[in-house]
Structure 1
């Protein structure tokens, strides 16, 4: 039977790597004092589509329940976790989750994530702990060739403030900036100040190492808020570098891809192919829907993608015991003699090459025993 678009079966290494990644994530976050949390896979759409969360209902798998309310399969962990912990005592700050999200605007309808959320903590502490947890986790799953990117939502927001754009105009411009479309940015701002237009177009290329910060400290010398943002990013870079991480880049022209981001943003890219292995950022404003003014920051790993890039090493020897229906129990007992091996039992050996060692149950002197072939 065929599968719906966006669904797929999986076998073998991908599953094994994902399970390994999941267990290592649990151990890493537990040792860093994160508390596990899980939310229902079915939620009310309003949790994600309300004015503050601002997500697009069209991208969700949805239906009407018997009461006429729209329900969805969880499209996002951050908004779901915020709903779940909004009434929790603020003394506990660090939360970790694992599970699927469902979106119809992605290549696959279902994707597996593992993530962390830090709420009510000192802002710099929360951002630092997010990034250092990411470094710790990637090290533990033997992914070492990656780059961390830092950006900030308020750079774009402050630069367009004088334009007084309406919501539709702002979203169009934000989308053009996100796609790095210089030509489209120029077209959208054709009736606005040429100076601001040029500043935004130039910002698309404000991408690279720490030297980008130094360059824009000169450009924004008379803009204290932007200088403060640059200083904030520089401190995070210095923190990461002090732990031995050198592959860090800055994208001052990056704009938010989720409506609720409102501060620092970060992403991790696999060096081999540029794929995004984690993303996250600050989202204080998300808690205003619960009448809370607090700090909140988090990130999520793409576990499916991590599983594809993990090194598969099977150190266990793979053996096969050839038996028959009447000797199957004897073969089963012999498993205890091979406690460190992967042991298969077959009645007929089809492909000896897939095993390191082959054994056989034989009858000798009216007794059964297992011997190596």
Structure 2
């Protein structure tokens, strides 16, 4: 075995499409005023496994260093950037990143991401910027068939704060909500003598769909619950702005639960209509900075580059030209590239080595009596 399990080589179009995603992201984020940030690929494990972040050590690519500390390959950009911004100024900041993360609980241990982190902006402004930037970026990639899904961590937290559950039970309940296991949700909550809360959480599992329909229903249902009504109104305000700014459908899932402990408000993701894959996800994570003893409001999202790259259909590819040369005419072949600056130009010695169907034009360069002859589509042009 030449490669570890989970590692792979990539070739041709796969790599080209990924690079196109990276380049397009840099263009869009730069024009929207983001600064670039990069963090080391190697970090201390406890930055990611503490109670504020809650990542499992078993899921990380790890080893012991010479001092006995556990080091890992970067498993999460948001946490790494929060560490980097510790003791930073309190001014509003917008950061853009791109690169790989590494986890061994996925099919491939390495996955590529691009994303943004918005620090110390007014809450609604930052959340809107995240989602409008996502729409801008996907438009540039000509990826149009997706939906934006909105949720809020405060809904689930409102109900579990009324329960006496251990951390393990809360985690089991989150998994059951995520998997839409109504029986499991009811069982976990009702055994604590809270049947009415169990019923509310079971109903929440089906509280997803077009935002107008779902939110209008829950404005009525939660009319006597000021905390929940405030959350519904916040989601509605954000959904209406997105609806006004473009044609991409906006849906809500009021039963959505957070994947990591640091999320603390609006959460969202982009889902491809073709196969339901998550092409971006993110949300508010004000609590993340608690581990560094700081109080910042922050929101961000990350795009899955590998998923986006598979969706690309790059139609404006440069035309391809094949130049047939020899040892004697190779230097001249290099010179005439200037005549085809916007083309892909490949030089070969033997036309039998190429598939002519892959090229829009084949040019032959001959040398005779110190002069060059260029034969193109059976027309001959003489160059001195």
TM-score with structure 2 length normalisation?
0.94
The answer as to whether partners of 1:146 and 1:269 remain within 8 angstroms in 2 is: yes
* Per-residue deviation, residues 325-356 of structure 1 (Å, max 9, x unmatched): 22211211221221121110111222211111
Report the Cα distance in structure 2 between the residues aligned to 1:314 and 1:188, rounded to whole angstroms.
Answer: 55
- Superposition deviation, residue 120 in structure 1: 1.1
- Counterparts of 1:128-167 in structure 2, within 5 Å, are 128-167=128-167
Determine the C-alpha separation between the residues in 2 that align with 1:278 and 1:263: 17
**Match in the other structure for 2:65:** 65
C-alpha separation between the residues in 2 aligned to 1:182 and 1:307? Answer: 36
Secondary structure in 1 matching 2:367: strand
Tell me, what secondary structure is at the counterpart of 1:163? coil
Per the alignment, residue 21 of structure 1 pairs with 21
Aligned-partner Cα distance in 2 for 1:305–1:323: 41
1:206 matches 2:207: yes
Cα offsets for 1:91-128 (capped at 9, x unmatched): 14111111100011112111110010111111111111
Q: Secondary structure of 2:321's match? A: strand
Query: Are 2:372 and 1:368 equivalent residues in the alignment?
Result: yes
1:259 aligns with 2:261: yes
User: C-alpha distance in 2, partners of 1:154/1:359?
Assistant: 66
| Residue 233, structure 1, aligned to residue 235, structure 2 | yes
| Partners of 1:57 and 1:137 in 2: CA distance | 33
Where does residue 314 of structure 2 map in the other structure?
A: 312
Q: Distance in 2 between matches of 1:264 and 1:183?
A: 27
CA contact (8 A) 2:329 2:367 kept: no
> Does the aligned pair in 2 maintain the 1:334–1:370 contact within 8 Å?
no
Tell me, yes or no, if the aligned pair for 2:270 and 2:281 is still in contact at 8 Å.
yes
- The match for 1:346 among 345, 348, 351 is 348
Measured in 1, the distance between the counterparts of 2:53 and 2:82 equals 10
Partner of 2:382: none
Equivalent residues, number = 373
1:290 and 1:233 map into 2 onto residues whose CA distance is 29
Indicate yes or no: 2:54 matched with 1:54.
Answer: yes
Separation (CA, whole Å) in 2 of partners of 1:147 and 1:127: 17
Q: Deviations over 1:274-315 (max 9, x none)?
A: 110000001101111122222111000001111110122243
Shift of 1:366: 5.0
2:75 match: 75
Quick one: distance in 1 between partners of 2:87 and 2:374?
A: 62
**C-alpha contact 1:49 1:55 (8 A) present in aligned 2:** yes
Q: Deviations over 1:241-283 (max 9, x none)?
A: 1212340000000000112111110000111111100000011
Q: Answer with 156-165 or 301-310: which moved more.
A: 156-165
Comparing 310-319 and 268-277, the one that deviates more: 310-319
SS in structure 2 at match of 1:189: helix
Alignment partner, residue 115 of structure 1: 115
- Separation (CA, whole Å) in 2 of partners of 1:36 and 1:202: 43
2:101 partner SS: strand
Of 280, 283, 290, which aligns to 1:281?
283
SS of residue in 1 equivalent to 2:162: helix
Q: Which runs of 5+ in 1 are unaligned?
A: none
Give 1:189 shift: 2.9
**Structure 2 CA distance for aligned equivalents of residues 45 and 371 of structure 1:** 63
